[in-house]
Structure formats: C-alpha cells, structure tokens
C-alpha cells in the first residue's frame, strides 16, 4: 500500500506533467489556428464537435463553452454520427473532430462522409501523420509527449491538451464576436454568475417591507417598526424625503449610554446622510457599496423617492455573495 508521501508526490507529478504539456501547446498556435478561428467566425453555420471515447467527453465540454460564449455549437458522437446523427450537420456547419491518434475506426468512417457533404473539417489531434490530420481542412496540433497515467495509457494529459485547444478557440471567437458581459448574462440567467450581471436592486426591494418613521416618532415606535419590518433599520422621513436612518446599532449604542428612553425620538438618535442607491442599479453595485462603507443595508431611491431597503441578506439569498 502506498504511503501518504508517495500519493502526494504522484499527484504533484501529474500536475507538473500536464502543466508542462499545456505550456508546450503555445508553439502549436500558428497561422493554421488563426485561419481556423477566422473560418468559424465568418461561417454562417454552427460548429459541430465530434469525438470518440474520452475525446467525446472533451467535445461536449467544448460545445458547452462555445454555446455559453456566443458561438452556436452542438455535440455529435462519432459512433452515433455514422448511425443517423450525420443528419445534424447542415450545409454551412463547420465540423471539429477530436482524436488523439486520429486513426480510430469511427473517425476513418466519419471523415469521408463529412467531406462528401462539403463541410470543412477542423482536426484536433496529436498525430500529424494520421488519417484525420491528412484529411482535414485545418489541423490543430494537440501533441503531448506522454500521458500522466503511470502506464502511459489512460487519456489524461492528451485530453487536457484537447480541452485547452478548445478553450483557446472559444475565447478567440468570443473576442472576435465582441461578446460582452451583457451577452454572457443572457446565456447564464439561472446561476449566481448571471445574477451578478442582470439582477437589479429593484428586483430585491420588491420583496421587502418599507420601514419608515417620522422625525418625531417616539423611540419605542421606532423599535417596533424596525422589528416588524425585519431589515435591521428604518428610514427617517420628513415630507416623504429621507433625512436620516436609524439602525439596530444606533439603538444599541443609545441604550448602552442611556437606558431611559422617555421622550427620545427618531430625530435624537438617527444618523444623517445615510447611504442610498438607485433602484435600477445592479445588485452587485449595492454589494460593493456595502463593502466599501462597512454597512449591511442601503436605502433605495426611485426618482429620488424612498422605496425601501436592500439588505446584505438579500444578496446572500440570491447568491451574489
């Protein structure tokens, strides 16, 4: 049985071997790579990504990355392709075939059919003398010296290299398409990442109560308002305009100094010039304002009118933090 040190050393060697192989890919980024990117960018069709075995799994990841960054793509398993899925390929589509050896039986059957359809083939392979390499229109070299597997058999380093080439393609296309953060949000509306790009303060405030008191409101009523609305604060208004804020912290500080609250009003303990944010501001902007000022809530304005409170807990619930 291997001891702890052996396990750690094996893990480190795996990472070092794969990182070295990835760094070596830089010398394969050449005119052929640039031409492949330009061809996809100028194409009216989609990108079909195909592979067999572990390369098929990498193909699925590349498809996912392209779709999420503005390049329409679909996955086509090389084995399924020759049993009906070739129908997925349309006239203007570009096909990316991924194979370490470039000589698997499925690839040898698939490639001629694709070429007969008139579609261009981009090969990602580590074997420059393979059937796939010689029959492709664009050749992207993913050569690795050896697998991380001790027996140099299990696809490890080679699949990592394939994935990195796919990422490089996707990001180059992203740049050419001027794909912005707003575009990214369109494709990621459900996750926390997307929410940072599209969720606005008014989306959060709409769910909350609107705590408010007047300058002359007795302190016991201020406490009730803060407790009832469950936001840890209340705005202090005069003629419907914000003039101050009272927080849980203000109450605690007041009570620690003077337990006698008789005659005390909101005006006596409120903080002036409270931090505010517009209702149409991004939720992530509210987070940054809270962090910069070391506070946990902001008063929200809509056309200078007080409409509620956004709390740090609102951002936590939505996964912004």
Q: Which residues are annotated as a binding site for Zn(2+)?
A: 77
Q: Which residues contact 222 (CB under 8 A, 6 or more apart)?
A: 213, 234, 246, 251, 265, 266, 269
Numbered residues of the known binding site: 77
Q: What number of residues does the chain have?
A: 321
- What are the CA-CA distances from residue 291 to residues 237, 281, 284 (Å)? 25, 16, 11
Q: Whole-angstrom Cα distance, residue 219 to residue 226?
A: 11
DSSP-based three-state secondary structure for 185: helix
Burial (Cβ within 10 Å: 0-12, 13-18, ≥19) of residue 123: buried
DSSP-based three-state secondary structure for 121: strand
Q: Which residues contact 198 (CB under 8 A, 6 or more apart)?
A: 185, 189
Q: Which residues contact 268 (CB under 8 A, 6 or more apart)?
A: 219
- Phi/psi of residue 40, nearest 5 degrees: -60, -45
Q: Which among 65, 28, 52, 31 has a CA at the least distance from the CA of 102? A: 52
């Amino acid at each position: 049985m291997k001891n702890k040190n052996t396990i750690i050393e094996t893990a480190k060697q795996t990472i070092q071997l794969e990182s070295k192989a990835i760094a070596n890919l830089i010398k394969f980024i050449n005119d052929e790579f640039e031409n492949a990117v330009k061809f996809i960018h100028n194409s009216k069709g989609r990108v079909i990504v195909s592979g067999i075995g572990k390369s098929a799994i990498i193909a699925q990841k590349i498809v996912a990355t392209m779709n999420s960054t503005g390049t329409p793509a679909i996955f086509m398993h090389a084995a399924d392709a020759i049993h009906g899925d070739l129908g997925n390929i349309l006239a203007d589509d570009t096909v990316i075939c991924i194979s370490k050896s470039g000589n698997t039986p499925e690839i040898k059957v698939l490639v001629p059919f694709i070429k007969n359809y008139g579609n261009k083939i981009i090969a990602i392979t580590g074997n420059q003398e393979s059937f796939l390499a010689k029959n492709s229109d664009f050749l992207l070299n993913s050569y690795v010296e050896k697998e991380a597997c001790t027996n140099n058999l299990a696809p490890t380093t080679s699949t990592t290299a394939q994935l990195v080439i796919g990422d490089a393609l996707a990001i180059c296309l992203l740049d050419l398409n001027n794909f912005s953060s707003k575009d990214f949000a369109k494709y990621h509306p459900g996750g926390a990442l997307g929410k940072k790009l599209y969720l606005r303060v008014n989306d959060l405030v709409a769910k909350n109560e609107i705590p408010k008191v007047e300058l002359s409101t007795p302190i016991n009523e201020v406490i009730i308002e803060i407790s009832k609305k469950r936001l840890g604060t209340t705005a202090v208004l005069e003629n419907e305009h914000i003039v101050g804020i009272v927080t849980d912290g203000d109450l605690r500080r007041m009570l620690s100094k003077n337990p006698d609250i008789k005659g005390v009003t909101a005006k006596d303990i409120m903080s002036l010039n409270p931090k505010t944010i517009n209702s149409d501001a991004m939720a992530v902007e509210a987070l940054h304002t809270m962090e910069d000022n070391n506070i946990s809530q902001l008063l929200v304005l809509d056309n200078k009118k007080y409409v509620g409170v956004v709390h740090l807990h609102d951002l936590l619930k939505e996964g912004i933090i």
